[in-house]
Chain A
Amino acid sequence: MTGRSPLDTLKATGVPVREAVPEDAVAGVLPSWVAAPGGVGEVAEIMRAASSLGLAVVPSGGRTKAAWGRPPERCDLVVDTRAMDRVLEHEAGDLVVRVQAGVTLDGLAAALAVHGQELALDRPLDGATVGGTLATATAGPRALRYGTARDLLIGITVVLADGTVATSGGKVVKNVAGYDLGKLFTGSYGTLGVIAEAAFRLHPMAAERACVTSAHPVSEDLGPLLRRVTAAQEEVSAVEIDWPDPREPYTLTCLVEGVGAQSRASAVRELLGTRASVGGEPPGEWARLPGETFVLEARVRQDDLYDAMLAVAGTVRVTGVEAAVRGWAAPVSVLRIALRTDDGPAAGDAAGAAFVTALRDMVEPGGRVVVVTAPEEIARRVDRFGHIGALPLMKRVKERFDPDRSLSPGRFVGGI
């Protein structure tokens, strides 16, 4: 150990390690070094070295969500998974794929499309990796039919803070042997371990797709529309709400997939009234985040979506903050709300924070309002995560997995 620098110790693992540059910052916090392991073994090596040095480690993927979550309290080493970009196994007949965590969803989609298959997850951001998608539990409109990442994940390999490698699940679609660590790591924001590999259940790509689009004034109650559309025997796969300005009408897009999609879509159109029209593929902005720098997520039950929309419209009116909204219906329905607070920093920050508080007051306790990402000044003034029933248990899980708090400390709620 004498005289050896931490960088030397990290490099002695054989894993590529470099000094960090400003672009490596995680939620505004600059690490000292960045390691780029090529596989699970190298992740373990680097974690063991980091742990021996007492370094705080933050895993990172495509960096599309590097500004999400709270800034880590400490961040010495970033473990960049982007070199771990191999599809490890894809037996098309099994409809299962096993990948390294640094594979991007886009890259994976292209590889699977060749076989007429897909991982049925929406892609809100270009360049997002499998690992980052799991760690932040990002979802999209197709959750209505396919569930979210946790529902499609069938196996996971993670590396803990001390370098322990652990696998749960496997590569078969049906499996109840042991605890499901995949679930635990979904939404863990890098605070429990580094996700190194994942296996997913795939779906055949739909033979046909069709969309039904309709515009509705805010005064028109979404509730009955949604009930009709989601109960329709034509089996709608997804319902997206696009609402670029909460003072203006919103657009509904219903996605129908599979054999007879066109004719089924025509039947769905009848349910939405005369203004609805049937088209082909979903619009280009489908499932995309409505903004980048200041985004909230309201999470509610399906039948509470319209109330949540009214709450957003009301909050826009009261706070004067501009907003753009995109959301979807599912068992956990989501409105993603992008806020613009560009009228002078101080006033803007106060208004932004006021927006979060006001909206949360209306949406809780039936739903949740989460600050996905926000400018630093605003983030400091608000509680990012709001009410979480099982927070004490989550803290206990964190204590067991990472007793030294060396993984992404403070990125998640309650100091986790």
Chain B
Amino acid sequence: MDALEVVEILVFPGLTFFVWLAFVFEWLDRKTTARMQGRIGPMLAGPRGILQPVADFFKLTSKEEIVPQFSDKLVFEWGPPFFFAAPAIGTIFIPVVGLNAIVSSPYDLLFILFVLAFSTLMAGMLGYASAGRFSTISIGRLVLQYASFEIPLLLAIVSPAVAAGNLSISGIVQAQSNFHWFVFVVPIGFAVFIVSSLAELEKPPFDIPDAKTEIAAGWMTEFSARPLAYVKLTESLSYVFLSALAASLFLGGTAGPVLTNVTILQDGIYLAYFLIKVFAIGFAIFAIKTALARVRINQAANLFWTVLTPLSLLQLGIVILLR
């Protein structure tokens, strides 16, 4: 591994880039949601409040850390960085400039699935470690929700892979150049993916594990200061990660419809395509989550098992037949 690769992984287009993207995403989320609800949203830190998430992060890190008496101290204090690591590692498999990601292997998607499962597992561990009543209930809901959305999510991720005949994300992106986007090939898979990612992200209508009017902050209730800052950052990073994943798997990622073969600024154009698609998916998720009420856990499980799982199976069948 040479120095350039280290810079790529840690700075651009790797970790640092995605963390900043996460901050921007959180700001966009707050701002658009606010505007759709008739409010202003963040407005003080930076131009139009764009630095508000950053300010929140640093403010949280500087606060006093309260560790509950009966918590599992080791997991409680050291879990959040691991929780953060899950989506952070996932992002390096996603092509941001050029059609190849920094790291690319023939088995990318398997690793991505592991990352998604690991992040839920970490959330569960963190919640149990904090040993609160709200956390315990929340973990029950989290696990049930995970059990229901995982299958549709998995099948939805697999269908573009089948369409491309490739398990590597870079390979899937390359298969979509020349405007051969998989959203037209596997539209149902795309829809299922978006709905399942709402559940993975714990956003309405599936913000059941941290439903604030029922169980306070759910599994995050006992967290404060630095661990909370990490947890919050991880949430926005997962947001970006899943949007980037959706963009890469279904919308062609860095591959654009036009301007695919100019010599100058080719990397810039790739990056621009990527960002446009990620933000487009982001806006779609913002809109959906703003427009819906939270469902009950049994209703969510019902929806995933009786509607989305058959749909994603159907999609997979269609894709296999078409190939």
Do A and B pair up? The answer is no
List chain A positions with a Cβ less than 8 A from chain B.
none
